[in-house]
Amino acid sequence: MLNNPPPLRAGVDSDPFLHGTLGRRLRLVVDDESVGQSLAVQVLEQLGHRPSARVHWTRRPAPGRVTLGSPVPQRDFIPALIEDGDDAIETAIPAASRIRERSEALAREHGVDVSQAERLLRLATLSRTGRLVDATVVGETVLLSPPFDRQLLPHCLTPREAVALLGLNLRAHGDFAVSRGDSTTRLIGAARFYRAVAFQQVVGLDTWIGAAVTRWLQERHRPLTLVDGVATRIGRAFRARDFLQVRLRAPDYEIVWDEVLFFFDVVLVQAMGALDLLARLLHDIYALEGSARRPSWRSRRGDGWVSELERAAPEIAAVAGPGQPLGDIVDLVAELRNVIHDAPLSEEIHDPDGAPGIDVWGPGLIALEPSDPVDIMLAAAERRDGLVSWGVSDRRPDGAVVLDPGLFAEQALRACTAALSDVLALADHHRLSGALAADISMWVPTQGDRENAAVLFGLARGGLRQDRVTFA
């Protein structure tokens, strides 16, 4: 899953998401005093000493430690010792006097504790200068509350953001650990990991598996095939999202553009595939007319499939109509899936009038020519959390609609899993069976694996943070 190094290696910083000699360990520093206790902090501690990553703590007794010394006045720096159990690195934090002055100013202007402000500014500077530390982890209430913010504390992450970055790094190196206890690390493999995230994100999917397994034991396999297919396709979409996010962290855009488009396309195809299988499941359990290939969320007019569903399950059909929650998600994913193949994934798009020429939109964007399908996407995105949440920018007066593939993929997966959860809650699983199978462990990962995998995946808002910001 790692990125290949750029063709010219000279001058390229070592990166934790690169192959070969340019690859290095991800390194995080955690401020013990502000992070508190949470599942994210617990997983950071458990998986903080892996072959591809190190997590260093300021206080707790862990293999990874960071110790800040007293300022050296003559040199104006603060000594820092970074230990990881195998070796130690001596470094320094510059501008000690400037950090002290800034801390005292924050104490005067905002009433914060000067020692806390100085500690946070020192740790933030440690991750901002040099390449030894990728990010400093501080409490969410600290980073997202005045007077501290991301501008004052650059290269700082909340615990949820940090554990999601750690998880992405581990998976990029083929490491699917989810927990560690009693000197034993729990590894569950790639397919099981993404399946665990799917069952955690799609609420109620395990209940439907239980009902489908009971029906299968009564010698009818199709419902289980369809329910299991929903989990499988969402899991594949999650896996493609990981490949996409790793590519978006490449130091050189040019070497990854083709793969960004490929994995973005896979995310859309698999997410829409999960929604299509859900339609086929409803077609089956409500015994609707027509062949098994007829179900389509976009068949809304006249005697279309959604109209047929309305007669059997009006509450589900209501959310699938134009402008409704499920209908908008289907339009966003399906319309982009259909037009993305023609979209130039580069800094340019040909003039829409067909004349020779190039418009430059900026790196990191997909540029779509204005069209009816694109107009449908824009309207749906406006209704579902707004264009900014989807990483979309309406520049039709200039000849294009541009989008950030990373931001769009994250929002699309959040929206798809929420839509799946809503429909499963509205549908009646008792139509499959009145009893749930006692043992579904073959299909559904344990609750602990699901919770840890979800926090390592970081799909929820406040999870994985996209480092590069485009102009979408």
pLDDT exceeds 60 at position 319: yes
* Predicted pLDDT at 360: 66
Both tokens assigned to 422: 């809503």
CA distances from 437 to 190, 195, 222, 443 (A): 26, 19, 16, 11
CA–CA gap between residue 59 and residue 271 (Å, rounded) = 43
List of residues 6+ apart from 316 with CB closer than 8 A:
282, 309, 423, 426, 427
The half-sphere exposure of 366 on its side-chain side, counting CA atoms within 13 A, is 26
- The domain locations on the chain are 20-185, 203-457
> The pTM is what?
0.93
* Predicted pLDDT at 453: 98
Answer whether 18's CB lies under 8 Å from 251's CB. Answer: yes
Residue with token string 């000699």: 21
CA distances from 375 to 48, 331, 342, 353, 368 (A): 46, 10, 16, 18, 11
Mean pLDDT computed over 15-27 = 86
Mean pLDDT value across the chain: 90
User: Helix count (H) and strand count (E) of the chain?
Assistant: 17, 15
CA–CA gap between residue 93 and residue 126 (Å, rounded) = 6
**Beta strands 400-403; 358-360: pairing state:** unpaired
Answer whether 107's CB lies under 8 Å from 120's CB. Answer: no
Mean pLDDT computed over 107-111 = 92
Q: Read off the pLDDT of residues 321-372 as tens digits, 9 standing for 90 and up.
A: 999 999 999 999 999 988 876 655 444 455 555 555 566 666 778 888 888 9
Mean pLDDT computed over 60-65 = 89
Q: Which of 107-121, 229-243, 312-326, 457-471 has the lowest mean pLDDT?
A: 457-471
CA–CA gap between residue 231 and residue 270 (Å, rounded) = 10
- Whose CA is closest to 157, among 114, 122, 124, 203? 124
Answer whether 36's CB lies under 8 Å from 21's CB. Answer: no
DSSP string, 148-183: --TTTSTTEE-HHHHHHHHHHHHHHTT--EEEEETT
When pLDDT is cut at 50, 70 and 90, the band that residue 61 belongs to is confident
* Predicted pLDDT at 347: 46
* Predicted pLDDT at 252: 79
Altogether, the residues listed in the chain come to a count of 472
Residue with token string 């798809």: 416
* Predicted pLDDT at 367: 85
Mean pLDDT computed over 63-87 = 90
Burial call 344-356: b when 16+ CB within 10 Å, e when fewer: bbbbebeeeeeee
* Percentage of the chain exceeding pLDDT 70: 92
CA–CA gap between residue 201 and residue 188 (Å, rounded) = 18
